[in-house]
Amino acid sequence: MAKAKKLPSGSYRVLIYDGKDEYGKRQYKSFTAPDKAQAEFLASEYRVKGKKAKSNANDMTLAQALEKYIDAKENVLSPSTIQAYRSISRHRLHALQKLKLIELNSAIVQSAINREAISLSPKTVANVYGLISATCSMFMPDLRLHVTLPAKRRQMRQLPTPDAVVAAVHGSAVELPVMLSLWLSLRLSEVRGLQYGDIDGDILTVRRVLLIISGSDVIREQTKTYNSTRQLRIPDRLKNMIGTGEPDEPIVKDSAAVIYNHFTKCIKTAGLPHMRFHDLRHLNASVMLQLGVPDKYAMERGGWSTNAVLQSVYQHTFSDKRKDVDAKIDKYFNALCE
């Protein structure tokens, strides 16, 4: 058994050889305690329990580890994230998933990521690797993967102008959901999650989403991110389009597929370039940029968050400056609807 050595601090430390990493470098586990006996006890305990746990992890294939990881996160991650993880587990990295965790190293994982990068976008590849990395951290915490991911590609897409979109959907069955997204910068899941009880006077609270999980609608009484839960002032034109209903009655009752199909049909009929429903949020952002809306208020209205902006903006009030911003945006869209 390894003996504890006294450190300059007065504590005692035991080092235990713990194998080599993928580069052949020797690795050690360190156990430090105030006295010699305790340090040696911790090291001895690791030899018995730690190696047993490590052995159990070594016997798992990546496929088994992925399943256990996803199950462990079922109730703490969003349904859409869990669905995405299960999709990755089913459809990606088949050859890699057959390997045991003990067989994984940076070179093998890098090779698998390279193959995925041929057909997947950089963002999707990053999501695939993120799941692998998180799974390995849970079951093989000593495994250090060094993998290079494909660089993000900036996509330059041609989108119609806001006035062209407003004209294309005017009077159609999809006008209300489109205007809610284009004017108030709501995601489709947020639009579908709105209920009449979310309106108090001229204030709309965005507090839930209606997602599609495995082909079925799932209500989530929480928005995508912390900053996505927000309050917005509803302009009179939108309020008139919304009308009235019971508090728990959805404002937009159509399915996501129906909304999307109606929307793309209107866009195509108007001779406009193809766009996704989510692109309406992009148009909204471009309008705010065009109108010179400060980042703080643009991020607040859209529910976006970054490290640099709005770290605590959710605790906002409807200040005079914010009201000026709302009025400026409402004036722009009111002019489009004339």
pLDDT for 77 beyond 70: yes
**Domain boundaries for CATH 1.10.443.10 within the chain:** 162-337
- Residue 302 to residue 60: CA distance in whole angstroms: 43
Tokens of 262: 């109606």
Mean residue pLDDT of the chain comes to 84
Q: What angle do CA 13, 16, 17 make, to 5 degrees?
A: 145
Work out the number of other CB atoms within 10 angstroms of the CB of residue 330. Answer: 17
Fold of 162-337: hpI Integrase; Chain A (1.10.443)
Backbone angles phi, psi at 21, to 5 degrees: -85, -175
Work out the number of other CB atoms within 10 angstroms of the CB of residue 297. Answer: 21
Predicted local distance difference test score (pLDDT) of residue 19: 65
Backbone angles phi, psi at 152, to 5 degrees: -65, 145
Identify which has the larger pLDDT, 142 or 89: 89
199-226 pLDDT tens trace? 999 999 999 988 887 788 888 887 777 6
pLDDT for 306 beyond 50: yes
pLDDT for 301 beyond 90: no
Q: From residue 283, give the alpha-carbon distance in Å to each of 221, 233, 277, 287, 307.
A: 27, 19, 10, 6, 23
168-178 pLDDT tens trace? 999 999 999 99
Segment of 32-36, 117-121, 292-296, 318-322 carrying the highest mean pLDDT: 117-121
pLDDT for 233 beyond 90: yes
Once rounded to an integer, what is the mean pLDDT over residues 3-13? 84
Predicted local distance difference test score (pLDDT) of residue 259: 96
Contacts for 258-262 with beta carbons within 8 Å, 24 or more apart?
Answer: 259/174, 259/177, 259/188, 259/191, 259/192, 260/188, 262/172, 262/173, 262/174
Predicted local distance difference test score (pLDDT) of residue 290: 80
Identify which has the larger pLDDT, 224 or 243: 243
Query: How much helix, strand and coil, in percent to the nearest 5, is found in the chain?
Result: 50, 15, 35
Q: Which CATH architecture has domain 62-139?
A: Orthogonal Bundle (1.10)
**Domain boundaries for CATH 1.10.150 within the chain:** 62-139
Given pLDDT bands bounded at 50, 70 and 90, which one contains residue 140?
confident
Q: Which amino acid is at 326?
A: D
Once rounded to an integer, what is the mean pLDDT over residues 256-280? 94
Question: What are the DSSP E strand ranges found in the chain?
Answer: 5-6, 12-20, 26-33, 199-200, 203-206, 209-213, 216-220, 230-233
